[in-house]
Amino acid sequence: MGFNEILEISKPRIVVLLVITAVTSMYAASKLVPGVPELDYWAYLHIIIAGALASAGSSALNHYYDKDIDPKMTRTSSRPIPSGRMAASNVLIYGLSVSCISVIYGYFTLNAVSAFFIAVGIFSYVVIYTVWLKRKNTSNIVIGGIAGSAAAWAGWAAATGSMDLLGFLVGFLVFVWTPSHFWCLAMKIKDEYAQAKVPMLPVVIGMQKTSKFILGNTLILIPYSLILSFIPDGMGIVYTVIAIVSGGLMLVYHYKLTKTPTSEFAWKAYKVTAPYLTIIFVAVALDAAFHFPLF
């Protein structure tokens, strides 16, 4: 078991994405919520460490649980467990240990509310998504999206010690975005999911209907993202402009996907959808730093 294998089961790209949502949420809360003291670099370091550990541990447990279906899919057949590069028991120990450490670390270095949301994220991804829903119901990735929201909530709570309406809505953006993002990937590798008997949406209802679901979800995401600008003491001009432009680009590609519901075009749509979350959360932070109210 080497460093490369540990890195692989930790899914570093997901770690980076979730850490970005946590850090930007934390920064935004420190600027937008009245009475929150200025945060020092240590506070940001603590949320980065806690968030990275939580994401890495959850990902490892996902690798462990999916060890029986990963060999059936080209995309996952070379992972450390199915390829024999890591023993399943070691992945389990690593995943459980790192996940537990992340919650404990968050509790002592951040606060109890932030640690609670870290635990919610781990539970949502490992138990609700991976164990309960992934192999049983097409709602798997929809409900599983709450794990990503928990990262943003943990960041917001790390700054405030609580959760308010704006913080909840900011975090819930991840939940609303997730289906549009992941269903594009599911369309790309539909045949692999079918071979592994995982009931992802395109496997169950086909490519054409899935593309319409993606478009429908994006038509929900765009106005939802703008709600943040119209609630009292909400986001300002910087965020609103970026949300409209980035959401509009997604909408164009997802509309085109309904006209060309192929795995090739789904992959193009996926590449457009993937950066949205980073862009929108950077927009949240930029808006907090250069806040120009809409009203």
Report the CATH number that the domain containing residue 10 is assigned in CATH. Answer: 1.10.357.140
Locate all alpha helices (DSSP H) within the chain, ordered by sequence. 3-9, 12-32, 41-65, 88-109, 112-123, 140-144, 146-160, 165-188, 190-195, 201-205, 207-230, 237-259, 263-273, 276-289
Q: Using an 8 Å Cβ cutoff, are 229 and 240 in contact?
A: yes
Same domain, yes or no, for 13 and 126? yes
DSSP 1: -
Number of domains in the chain: 2
Same domain, yes or no, for 144 and 289? no
pLDDT mean across residues, the chain: 96
Q: What is the mean pLDDT of residues 113-140?
A: 95
Same domain, yes or no, for 172 and 195? yes
Q: What is the pTM of this model?
A: 0.96
Tens of pLDDT, residues 181-204 = 999 999 999 999 999 999 999 999
Distance CA 284, CA 295 (A): 17
pLDDT band at 1 (very low <50, low <70, confident <90, very high): low
Residue that finishes a domain, picked among 134, 163, 192: 163
Same domain, yes or no, for 8 and 113? yes
Residue that finishes a domain, picked among 163, 196, 229: 163
Same domain, yes or no, for 108 and 39? yes
Tens of pLDDT, residues 48-58 = 999 999 999 99
Same domain, yes or no, for 1 and 49? yes
Same domain, yes or no, for 14 and 91? yes
Radius of gyration of the chain (CA): 19
Same domain, yes or no, for 68 and 137? yes
pLDDT at 95 over 70: yes
Same domain, yes or no, for 139 and 178? no
Phi–psi pair at 54, nearest 5 degrees? -65, -45
pLDDT at 134 over 90: yes
Tens of pLDDT, residues 245-290 = 999 999 999 999 999 999 999 999 999 999 999 999 999 999 999 9
pLDDT band at 3 (very low <50, low <70, confident <90, very high): confident
Same domain, yes or no, for 97 and 202? no
User: What residue numbers bound the domain in which 2 lies?
Assistant: 1-163
Same domain, yes or no, for 200 and 139? no
pLDDT band at 6 (very low <50, low <70, confident <90, very high): very high
Same domain, yes or no, for 117 and 201? no
Give the up-direction half-sphere exposure of residue 79: CA atoms within 13 A in the CB hemisphere: 27
